[in-house]
């Protein structure tokens, strides 16, 4: 099962407690560790986390700097543990705007965990769904221009392989914390048939117990992928 999470509400969680927004993000990073740890037990094979969107650069400079510092710390401090836990880490998003220090750590983590067979963890940093589709389209256009790819070979399946998620399965469930009910440019292409769970809890309040009950709720839903399943009484004799 693949779960995508929009980790929203760190800032509000902190502000409500009279704390600086960055304290909320720090709590958020601690929460990431707990949730990642619980995935194998809960049957989650792939986890995609929305850590920083292409729009997040518009935030106050000190908050952007603080978030980047937090990502650096997370990548550096969790490298060994993630590898020990057999987690395979990949990154989604446009890396070109990220600092060289972060890029080096991302590359190190990706290479180190490449052969791991446990949880597939995707971290979306400087990610936007539309941006991802545009970058994929440019790559496809370049291949068509060079004669490497024929226009008729551009199918949905082929198109997906040009996205940052490459050949990974689409998310079965997308969770967003902190009460907002929108996708905010997260997995725009990949979410076509995803189920959604919008929770009131902020990300620092998203405990493994809340995660578990959200997954239980998902498993009780019927998924039809656009197909109409006829009722027994409607079936031809």
Is 8 annotated in the active site? Answer: yes
Q: Between residues 84 and 156, which has the closer beta carbon with respect to ligand FPP? A: 84
Binding site for ligand FPP (CB under 6 A): 7-12, 25, 28-29, 32, 49, 51, 56, 67, 70-71, 74, 123, 178, 203
Unique residue bearing structure tokens 């590359």: 107
Q: Cα–Cα distances in Å, from 26 out to 33, 46, 67?
A: 11, 23, 9
What is the smallest separation between the CB atom of 146 and ligand FPP, expressed in angstroms? 36
By beta-carbon distance, which residue lies closest to ligand FPP? 11
Of 5 and 140, the one with the shorter C-beta distance to ligand FPP is 5
Q: How many helices (H) and strands (E) does the chain have?
A: 7, 6
**Cβ at position 118, least distance to ligand FPP in Å:** 17
The candidate with the shortest Cα–Cα distance to 50, out of 83, 28, 77, is 28
Residue (70 or 199) nearer to ligand FPP, CB: 70
The residue among 67 and 92 lying less far from ligand FPP, judged by its C-beta, is 67
Q: How far is the CB of 71 from ligand FPP (least distance, A)?
A: 6
- Residue 171 CB, nearest distance to ligand FPP (Å)? 16
Distance from C-alpha of 226 to C-alpha of 197, rounded to nearest angstrom: 19
Q: Which of 10, 38, 56, 111 is catalytic?
A: 56
Written as six digits, the tokens of 203 are 């990300």
Name the E strands within the chain.
Answer: 2-6, 46-53, 88-92, 120-127, 173-176, 195-198
Is 162 or 186 the residue whose CB approaches ligand FPP more closely? 186
Q: How far is the CB of 154 from ligand FPP (least distance, A)?
A: 33
* Pairwise CA distance, residues 35 & 209, whole Å: 10
Angle, helices 21-38/61-84, rounded to nearest 10 degrees: 20
Using CA atoms, how far apart are residues 11 and 192, in angstroms rounded to an integer? 29
Decide if 86 is catalytic: no
Residues with catalytic roles: 8, 56
């Amino acid at each position: 099962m693949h779960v995508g999470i929009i980790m929203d509400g760190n800032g509000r969680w902190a502000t409500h407690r009279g704390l600086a927004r960055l304290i909320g993000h720090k709590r958020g990073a601690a929460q990431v560790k707990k949730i990642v740890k619980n995935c194998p037990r809960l049957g989650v094979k792939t986890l995609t986390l929305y850590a920083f969107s292409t729009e997040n650069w518009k935030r106050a400079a000190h908050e952007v700097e603080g978030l980047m510092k937090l990502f650096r710390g997370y990548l550096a401090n969790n490298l060994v543990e993630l590898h020990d836990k057999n987690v395979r880490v990949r990154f989604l998003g446009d890396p070109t705007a990220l600092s060289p220090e972060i890029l080096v750590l991302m590359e190190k983590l990706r290479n180190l965990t490449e052969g791991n067979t446990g949880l597939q963890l995707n971290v979306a940093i400087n990610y936007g769904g539309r941006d991802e589709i545009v970058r994929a389209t440019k790559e496809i256009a370049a291949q068509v221009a060079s004669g490497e790819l024929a226009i008729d070979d551009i199918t949905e399946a082929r198109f997906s392989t040009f996205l940052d998620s490459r050949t990974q399965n689409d998310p079965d469930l997308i969770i967003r914390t902190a009460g907002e009910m929108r996708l905010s440019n997260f997995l725009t292409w990949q979410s076509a048939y995803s189920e959604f769970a919008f929770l009131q809890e902020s990300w620092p309040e998203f405990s493994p117990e809340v995660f578990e009950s959200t997954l239980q709720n998902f498993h009780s839903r019927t998924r039809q992928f656009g197909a109409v399943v006829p009722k027994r009484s409607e079936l031809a004799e």
